[in-house]
Amino acid sequence: MNTSQPDAYGVIRQLVIDHAGGYLRNVVWGPATCSYCAGIPGNEGFSTCYRCDGYIARAGHLSDRRGFITYALAGAQSGANMYRYKDEVPPPAATRMMTLLLAATLTKHLACAAHPSHGPVTAWTTVPSLSGRSHHPLAGLAAPFLQTLPWIALRAAADARNVRELRLENYVVTDEGASVSGQHVLLLDDTWVTGSNPESAAGALKRDGAAAVTSLVVARWLDVSRGATKEFIKAHLTQDFDPTVCPFTGQPC
Q: By C-beta, is 118 or 220 nearer to other proteins?
A: 220
Please work out the total of residues on this chain that contact other proteins, with binding judged by CB under 8 A: 42
C-alpha span between 206 and 128 (Å, rounded): 16
Interface residue with other proteins among 42, 65, 77, 207 (CB under 8 A) is 77
Query: Of 182-241, which residues contact other proteins (CB under 8 A)?
Result: 240-241
With beta carbons less than 8 A apart as the criterion, state whether 205 and 182 touch: no
Interface residue with other proteins among 44, 88, 159, 175 (CB under 8 A) is 88
Burial 13-39 (b: 16+ CB within 10 A, else e): bebbbeebbebbbbbbbeeebbebbbb
With binding defined as CB under 8 A, does residue 4 bind other proteins? yes
Query: Of 97-156, which residues contact other proteins (CB under 8 A)?
Result: 97, 99-100, 103, 107, 144-145, 147
Distances (CA, A) of 122 to 17, 109, 183, 249: 30, 15, 6, 20
Interface residue with other proteins among 49, 94, 98, 173 (CB under 8 A) is 94
- In this chain, which stretch among 2-10, 35-43, 57-65, 114-122 interacts with other proteins, using CB under 8 A? 2-10
- In this chain, which stretch among 14-22, 177-185, 194-202, 207-215 interacts with other proteins, using CB under 8 A? 14-22
Strand pairing report for 65-73 and 212-222: parallel
Q: By C-beta, is 144 or 252 nearer to other proteins?
A: 144
Q: From the CB of 126, what's the least distance to other proteins, in Å?
A: 18
With beta carbons less than 8 A apart as the criterion, state whether 145 and 102 touch: yes
With beta carbons less than 8 A apart as the criterion, state whether 106 and 15 touch: no
With binding defined as CB under 8 A, does residue 28 bind other proteins? no
Residues facing 65 on adjacent strands: 214
C-alpha span between 113 and 110 (Å, rounded): 5
Residues facing 172 on adjacent strands: 155
With binding defined as CB under 8 A, does residue 93 bind other proteins? yes
Q: By C-beta, is 77 or 229 nearer to other proteins?
A: 77
Position 78, amino acid: S
Q: By C-beta, is 239 or 249 nearer to other proteins?
A: 239
- Reduced to 3 DSSP states, what percent helix, strand and coil does the chain have, rounded to the nearest 5? 35, 20, 45
Position 225, amino acid: S
Interface residue with other proteins among 31, 91, 140, 252 (CB under 8 A) is 91
Contact residues toward other proteins (CB under 8 A) are: 1-2, 4-5, 7-9, 11-12, 15, 17-23, 75-77, 79-81, 83-84, 87-88, 91-94, 96-97, 99-100, 103, 107, 144-145, 147, 240-241
